[in-house]
Structure formats: C-alpha cells, structure tokens
Amino acid sequence: MHLVHTALLALAALPAALSFTPGFPYGSEKVRGVNLGGWLLLEPWITPSIFDNTGNDAIVDEWTFGQYQDYDTALGVLQNHWNTWITESDIAAIAAAGLNHIRIPIGYWAFEVGPGEPYIQGQLPYLQSAVQWASNYGLYVIVDLHGAPGSQNGYDNSGHRMPYPTWQSNQTNIQRTDDVIKTIASMFAGQENVVPIIAPLNEPAGYIGSSMMDPLQQYYLDSYGNIRYPYGTSQQSNTVEMIHDAFQPLSYWNGWETPPNFQGVMMDTHIYQVFSDADVAMTEQQHISAACQTQSTLSNFDLWLAVGEWSPAITDCATYLNGRGVGARYDGTYPGSTYIGSCSGWTGSASTFSSSYKTFLRQFWEAQVISYETADGWLMWTWKTEDADEWSYQAGLANGWIPQNPTDLQYPTICD
C-alpha cells in the first residue's frame, strides 16, 4: 500500500511537467530542414559579390561592412540583399522539397545597437515576413541568434571577425544578449506552432576553456528562463530552447538541462568535415565512413538532439569559406596548410562538377541524413550560395544530388 501511495503522489506531481507541448512533435517525427544562411547576417563566402563590390579588402564581415562604408551606400546594398536573397518563393520551394524546418540566423544588432557599433539595422521586418511565409507553407522556424555582442567565437559569421572572442569576458555583453533573447521570446510568444524553437547562441567557442564554458552555462540557464517565461508572469511557453554544444563532446553535456527539472530543451551539434587539414585530406570513402560513425554518439543522447548544421562539402575550397582574403587548406593557400589538390572542379558552379563527384555528393548527403536521423533530425547548411554549389541545398535539388523528397534514398544501406 505504501508503494502505491508513493506512486500516486508522484503522478500528482506530473501534470505540470507533462504540460510542455512543443509546436512540432520532436522525438517522434524527424526534423528535416535547411538554414537560410547569409541572409539577415552577411557571410562573405555565401555572397562574395557583396564584399568584392565594396572594393575594400578591409571589409571582411558585417561590422566592417558598416564601419568602412558610407551609411546610405551600405544600407542600400543590405536592403537590396534582404529583399532578394530569400523571398516567399524560396520558402515555397523549401516546403515543396519535403522539408519541415528552416533555421534563420540573425545578429543581435537587428534588435539593439550599442554606442560606437557600426552595424546597420533593418532586418526584423524580414524575419517577421519569413515567419509569415513559413506559416503559409506549413514550415517551422528556428530563430537562431548567430551573433552576440563582443562575438562569441570571433568568426565572421558572428558579425565581427576577431582573433579571440570577447562576449564571455564582459558581463554587459552577456546582459545585452539576455535582453535580445527576451525580445525574441516575447516577439514570438504563443506562436509555437510556427516558431517552435529559439536558439540563444550559435557556436560559442567552448574550446577556449572555462572562461567561455562557465559564463555560457549560466547563460543557457538564464536563456531557458527567458524562453520559458516570455509573458512576465508565471505562465509558461511551449517554446523549445535549442543550445549549441559549444564544440564539446556530447558526453560533456550528459545530464544538462534534463527532465524533470527542465522541459523542452534540445541540443544542437554541428558536423563538418572540411575545417582541419586531416578532414580535407580524407578520401571520399573516408568521408562517408566518418558520417556513418557519428551514429553511435548521436543515437543515445539524453536530450532531443539535432544536427543543426552540416554539408556535403568535402573541401574548404569555396571562396572566402575560411574568411575573406583567406585561402583554402585543400590547395595549400591557407596559412600553414599542405597542398592536397587543386580546388578546380570541387567548388563553384555545379556545371563544372564531374558526374562521379555529383554521385559522391548524393552518397555523402544520404549517409549524413541516415546518420543524423538516428538522432532527432537535421538542418543542412545552407539553402543557397552565389558560387559554391556543393554547399547549396537549392543547387543539390536542381542537379540531382539531393532528392526532391529527403526520404527518397538511392543508397539506403550506405552505412550498413
């Protein structure tokens, strides 16, 4: 009798914990999606023309794009880009390709710019349009804070390229980021059926050690509260917090923000095979094997887990991929790297790709999709590029290495 009584007490405490109902059935249906990279936050390798057209080699990110140009000139270029890079027809095409999610990177400066910061604003109406378009076509949106004050990683895709991240070293930076998350959570409160996920920080540089990891873990906890309680009351949202692994092994995060004390937390891991000398030196078969080997760690994690960025690229040859003015490891033009081969035929227009390369791209794409679906799904980076078709979902669809429906596999046993 005593045992039964205890069990009833435990059940009585459950309804609050079970009341979390995300806008998408994570854990039972797979996330299949794509990133809208380089749209509301510029990346030189995605749109090299925007940077080349400035005629100024010092313009290497969105910070310097505003810093070293006349305001009206820069604003005009940005507005044209925002209006044309992603339109409703892109969202329609993404839905038609059988995808169910889009992840939209955006910088903090869309919401708030501090004194002396050269960022140009105007992105928010486009974010709101994208959410409306997604709603029209039955897609789900992940709003992803991709750049934070001081830069969380020093990458150009944080908005501000620098030798070492400074976000973590200044409590004001972190507080400003908290405020941005509160703004995003408030903006989309009650819209879980279109914006089921907020990702509070993309790719923080956890590899620098505890100086990043300590404030980051506190930030993730604070973000959970900011995302879960957007109404200024005790009313809870059903919005998922998607936290990046900060380049730590998944085992580092075992037991972090897990039920019953936390509900609706998803881990985001990014898997690329191009950003080290060893990666770009691998054979095609080794790349496929490496993708298949991710299954053992992905398949038994204790939170919902998605691979929020990945790509079928196997070289770092795309122009400016490592930064504007920086070369590639593959052809030895990156500082300290060793020549493996010419970049010709590996990047640029798909019209220059051999049939065997395109066949490989299909195999590698499928090996990754199969593997990442042993977790809770995936979002490929990225939907479109100016001149790096190996990275483009749109180009893959047009040229046959990505199927018109992501479940239509030609190599279903590739990992067996």
Residue numbers annotated as active site: 203, 309
Pairing of strands 31-35, 265-271: unpaired
- The Cα 1–Cα 195 span in angstroms is 46
| One-letter amino acid for residue 101 of the chain | H
Contacts of 41 (CB under 8 A, 6+ apart): 62, 105, 106, 107, 123, 146, 147, 157, 159
Count helices and strands in the chain by DSSP H and E runs? 14, 8
If residue 387 lies in a helix (H) or strand (E), which one and from where to where? none
Give the closest residue to 356 by CA, choosing from 345, 368, 366: 345
Cα-flanking dihedrals φ and ψ of residue 34, to 5°?
A: -145, 150
Residues 6+ apart with CB under 8 A from 83: 126
Q: How far, in Å, CA of 62 to CA of 39, rounded? A: 11
Tokens 């990505």 sit at which residue?
Answer: 402
Residue in the block written with tokens 């349009």: 129
Q: Which two structure tokens, joined as six digits, stand for 14?
A: 């459950």
Please return the burial class of 53, using the count of CB atoms within 10 Å of its CB with bins 0-12, 13-18 and 19+: exposed
